[in-house]
Amino acid sequence: MLRLGQKRASVRHHEKTTQHVRAQRMSVSAAQSFNVEVDAFFDNALILIGANANLSSVSKNIPHKNIYNASNSLTFIPVNGNISFWDLKAHKAQDVLNIGSLSATIKSFAVGDTVPYFLKYYPIDGLLGLSPIKKSYYNISVVADDLVDQLDKPLISIYTNSTRSGNGTGEVTLGAEDSDNCQNTWSYVPALDYFTNSTPFAVHVSSAEVTIGGQLTTFNLDTNVTFLPWPMFDVPIKVKDAFVNGTGATYNNSIGEYTIDCDTTKAPLITLNLGGAGNSTDSTSRKLVLSGADYIRYSIREGVCYLGVNFYSTINNQWYLGSQVLKNHCISFNYKERTVGFADSKTPKTDATKA
């Protein structure tokens, strides 16, 4: 049996079973415990270091690694096949995973015969991938598929509280929508199948609305939006007017940015009509409202606020919204219905000078 323990992203839990993860401790029978990094966006596999791995290349500045030893597990079952992916060389195994009181058999996971680079320098023992991505890069079980029937609801929800200095926190909830950090304003739209093997948190955007000069202006878009945990806010150049004219920002040649008042409450709301088809809404459509807190950034060096938006002529069919948006909005994914959910955070970061 595998037991996960806390490290970077909290998993909590409700009965039948919801888990909130903060990078978790996981155990195997007889209880072997592991601190693992939780990845809800890009990876969907369980990877641990095996007893055959040579640890001599692991940094001496981090805690001792906990190693998965099949001979110490009463529930271990060997699985045929080896894995070779980038710098990971591994064999396959089956065992029972415990996250809190959530228990499920992982039909196949990776037991490293080498130590991949990301484990050599970070104080973690492995990786727990909870991403809704359909494809397995390692030809092993998609962890969410093995867990989903043990959950109250087939959901994963994500709350982030990143900081400029990179020492923020995050929380992943399995089996329920996060009610501690997120307002009860959840709405869902279909995920784009085209992206489910790479970035599952992607949906269609039919149009955007913003008030410019006292008049509500609608931009017909027929684009897509992908949510990523990176410091980015990239949009097609065709919506530049929505941000520049809508906010009254002025271009500052000396810093190469559109400067704007730091008071995020003065900035207009920009409403994205998600779902639908083409540039039309339908019964699947829902609204995501972006405020100044989502797109105004502060330059410590210059002491001014500016539009934290990049306008690209090469991405006419794609928006990329990153960590600043995710600080103010929670997201979720329904593993079975393949829908993406959105809700407002209970603690939005409205002070641009501190966000």
Name the percent of the chain lying above pLDDT 90. Answer: 71
The Cα–Cα gap between 155 and 81 comes to 31
**348 CB contacts (<8 Å, ≥6 apart)?**
291, 293, 327, 328
The C-alpha R_g of the chain, in whole angstroms, comes to 22
pLDDT the model gives residue 28: 62
How many whole angstroms from its chain centre is CA 278? 26
- 355 residues of the chain, pLDDT tens digit each: 455 543 333 454 333 344 444 455 666 656 799 999 999 999 999 999 999 999 999 999 999 999 999 999 999 999 999 999 999 999 999 999 998 888 999 999 999 999 999 999 999 999 999 999 988 889 999 999 999 999 999 999 999 987 766 677 889 999 999 999 999 999 999 999 866 667 899 999 999 999 888 889 999 999 999 999 988 999 999 899 899 999 999 999 999 999 999 999 999 999 999 998 888 878 889 999 999 999 999 999 999 999 999 999 887 688 999 999 999 999 999 999 999 999 999 998 888 887 6
pLDDT the model gives residue 191: 94
Secondary structure, 3-state, 261-323: CCEHHHCCCEEEEECCECCECCCCCEEEEECHHHHEEEECCCCEEEECCEEECCCCCEEEECH
pLDDT the model gives residue 26: 64
The Cα–Cα gap between 330 and 37 comes to 20
The Cα–Cα gap between 229 and 158 comes to 10
Q: Torsions phi, psi of 101, nearest 5?
A: -95, 5
pLDDT the model gives residue 287: 95
DSSP 8-state code for residue 65: P
The Cα–Cα gap between 186 and 203 comes to 15
Please name each of the domains of the chain with its CATH number. Answer: 2-172 (2.40.70.10), 182-344 (2.40.70.10)
pLDDT the model gives residue 21: 45
By the 10 Å C-beta count (0-12 exposed, 13-18 middle, 19+ buried), 300 is classed as exposed
> 342 is written with which tokens?
């959105």
